[in-house]
Amino acid sequence: MRWLILIIGLAAYAQQTSPATYDTSRKIKLQGAVTRVEWTYPRAYIFIDVKDVRGKVVNWAVDLGDLESLDGWTPGATPIGSVVNVEGFPAHEGKRVLRQSITASNGRRLFQGPGGVSRGIPHGLPSGTQPPRWPDGHVRLGPEPGKRGYWGNASASALAENSRARVPMSKDGLLMNLADADKVAPFLPWAKSVYEYRQRTLLKDDPALRCLPAGGPRQFQTENGFQFIEQPELGRILVLLGGGDRNWRVIYTDGRPLAQGEDLVLTYYGTSVGHWENKDTLVVDSVGFNERFWMAAGGLPHTEALKLTERFTRPDYYTLKYEVAVNDPRTYSRPWTGGWTLQWIADQDPPEYFCEDNAESTFVR
């Protein structure tokens, strides 16, 4: 059947494709005529007829990616019947490719791949501009009064220990060499076995694919970013997460102690208390995590004993430095740290969308 597209595993987290769908270690090139355009928020697809080596026409699905990253491109850019050249990452199964670039038959570029356009920094403003501050002097992590903005474009898509050598992995946290597992974190034997199993099975059991929240450090690496809403008069900071169904997290800054024992209610985001260090860094301690999520892309395990200490520093207007210390004595042989930076997306709010289990099957068949 011409429209049969094989989809692997479960539907995508937040209606996005599974991290295991595409082989980002290789690229392919295709040429064909556009047969169909699907423009369904938050992702878009085009379908093209491609001749294989035997001359047989096969229909391919081209995953254009998140609509928020298409930078003004419209469905009319590839009318039905037009011939396009596609370069991108092939799916592990099925006739499907995640585009990196698309050009018309005359060579005119229609798409630059993900990451090809840096958004959020207005022209003429240097990256070193001083960050905004509250009247008491501590740095603002959210937008200034009357303005909009949020944090996104994380510099890393997975979590690994800072003190180890750089570990080659895909943007979805899949190791290029499974033998590098020991370089990711100081696993206890059972945790290493679980991590390696998740890697070997291409992350097919990722709870995020079933629309469960991305707790722990992973919440700061989702495609749709996040926003801080600081409420000093209420002694709290809200973290509004773009990577899920209007998920939010509360960080208490009213001086309360960290909950312990029977006071803990195990959740995806834990119970968090924070304080300011030298008015430049928000330090947050969190406990009370359940075990129903993966705390980072790639399948890092944890238990209910997990404690996270996060540090948020805004060294300039457009940069947020995120550092996290992981302490879970049931999973790791010692505490360890990792981190990345994020970019300020100015004059916008986090894109809104809802995770709908198996949504892709409604329009890709």
Comparing 277 with 365, the larger pLDDT belongs to 277
Query: Where does the pLDDT of residue 354 fall: very low under 50, low under 70, confident under 90, or very high at 90 and above?
Result: confident
With contact defined as beta carbons under 8 Å apart, do 263 and 257 qualify? no
Please tell me whether residue 241 adopts helix, strand or coil conformation. Answer: strand
Q: In the predicted model, is pLDDT for residue 41 greater than 60?
A: no
CA distance 235 to 210: 34
Least confident of 163-167, 241-245, 285-289: 163-167
Q: Are strands 281-287 and 96-104 parallel, antiparallel or unpaired?
A: unpaired
Query: 231: which 2 tokens?
Result: 């409420």
**Residue the block writes with tokens 């050249």:** 85
Q: DSSP secondary structure string, 48-111?
A: EEEE-TTS-EEEEEEEEEEGGGSTT--GGGS-TT-EEEEEEEEBSSSSEEEEEEEEETTS-EEE
Q: In the predicted model, is pLDDT for residue 81 greater than 60?
A: yes
Average pLDDT, the chain: 82
CA distance 195 to 160: 13
The share of the chain scoring above pLDDT 70, in percent, equals 81
Query: 349: which 2 tokens?
Result: 């709010």
- Strand-pairing partners, residue 313, are 281, 321
- Helical residues (DSSP H) of the chain, grouped into ranges: 181-184, 189-200
Residue 22 DSSP symbol? B
CA distance 308 to 288: 10
Q: In the predicted model, is pLDDT for residue 334 greater than 70?
A: yes
Residue 128 DSSP symbol? T
Residue 113's pLDDT is 52
CA distance 306 to 290: 9
Residue 109's pLDDT is 73
Least confident of 3-7, 124-128, 223-227, 332-336: 3-7
Q: In the predicted model, is pLDDT for residue 229 greater than 90?
A: yes
Element (H, E) at 151: strand 149-152
Least confident of 54-58, 95-99, 245-249: 95-99
Give 135-173 pLDDT, tens digit per residue. Answer: 999 999 999 999 999 999 898 889 999 866 678 888 788
Give 8-36 pLDDT, tens digit per residue. Answer: 333 333 344 554 567 777 888 899 999 98
Q: In the predicted model, is pLDDT for residue 120 greater than 70?
A: no
Residue 219's pLDDT is 93
* pTM of structure: 0.71
Query: Where does the pLDDT of residue 322 fall: very low under 50, low under 70, confident under 90, or very high at 90 and above?
Result: very high
CA 93, 299, 218, 280 dihedral sign is negative
Residue 74's pLDDT is 66
